[in-house]
Amino acid sequence: MTGGHQVDSDTDQREVPLSALEHYAYCHRQTALIHVEGVWSENVETVRGDLSHTTVDLPGLQRRRGLTVIRSLPVWSHTYGLRGICDIVEFEKGAATPVEYKVGRYKADGPAELQLGGQALCLLESGFDVPTGYIYSVAERRRHAVSIDVDLLDRVMAAADAVRRLLDTPALPIARNDARCRRCSLREDCLPELTDGRQQTTPDLLAPRPLGQWRD
């Protein structure tokens, strides 16, 4: 599926989905498979992720003691060509705090922080202060604070540019074929053992693929 990408009518810039920032940080080929080819497959990880999002995927608003909490809030940035949905944003006295839900354990500087940083860029463009965001780990049942600093925002902008280039590239990146592939729901679509650029001869596509042969 290639024709579905949105273009910002103000800037003629191809819009990058905020989720693509996380996919890009995880695997460039995964990003292209999802956002260029339109490939999607479920596995136990994606189902667990969906189930853990059931409360925050329901749009809603709550107010308590000066804090306004909005679930499933659409955000965008015309300047940086970003668009997506925040799981939760907490608003208080001109400041906005995005909270991104992730099913697994928190990894400092991991892919989820790029997505959170993209949300922060959108909220900044809407005129809010965004000093901090949080990754909520469902596995750990706790929030991890992420400082929204210049370094993170620079990384978000660089990743958005890289994703935009990827969306315009007709060829898929080669597969990683490393430990990340074990949990990737697109493994059967991607065939990383055959598409990692190491295959010198035409593979026998009818022979059973060996399980558990990874580069790392």
Q: Which stretches of the chain bind ligand SF4, using CB under 6 A?
A: 27, 29-30, 33, 175-176, 180-181, 184, 186-187, 190, 192
Judged by beta carbon, residue 36 or residue 152, the one nearer ligand SF4 is 36
- Least separation in angstroms between residue 177's CB and ligand SF4 is 6
Phi-psi region of 150 (alpha: psi -120 to 50; beta: other; left: phi over 0): alpha
- Least separation in angstroms between residue 51's CB and ligand SF4 is 21
- Least separation in angstroms between residue 110's CB and ligand SF4 is 14
Judged by beta carbon, residue 25 or residue 99, the one nearer ligand SF4 is 25
Helix or strand run (H / E) with residue 44: helix 44-52
- Least separation in angstroms between residue 24's CB and ligand SF4 is 11
Judged by beta carbon, residue 34 or residue 73, the one nearer ligand SF4 is 34
Judged by beta carbon, residue 20 or residue 130, the one nearer ligand SF4 is 20
- Least separation in angstroms between residue 189's CB and ligand SF4 is 8
Spatial separation of the C-alpha atoms in residues 169 and 126, rounded to whole Å: 31
Residue type, 17: P
Judged by beta carbon, residue 30 or residue 77, the one nearer ligand SF4 is 30
Q: What is the DSSP string of 107-143?
A: -TT-HHHHHHHHHHHHHHHTT-B--EEEEEETTTTEE
- Least separation in angstroms between residue 52's CB and ligand SF4 is 21
DSSP secondary-structure letter at 80?
A: T
Judged by beta carbon, residue 33 or residue 123, the one nearer ligand SF4 is 33
Spatial separation of the C-alpha atoms in residues 54 and 75, rounded to whole Å: 19
Q: Are 20 and 14 in contact (CB under 8 A)?
A: no
Distances (CA, A) of 169 to 30, 31, 50, 163, 166: 14, 12, 30, 10, 5
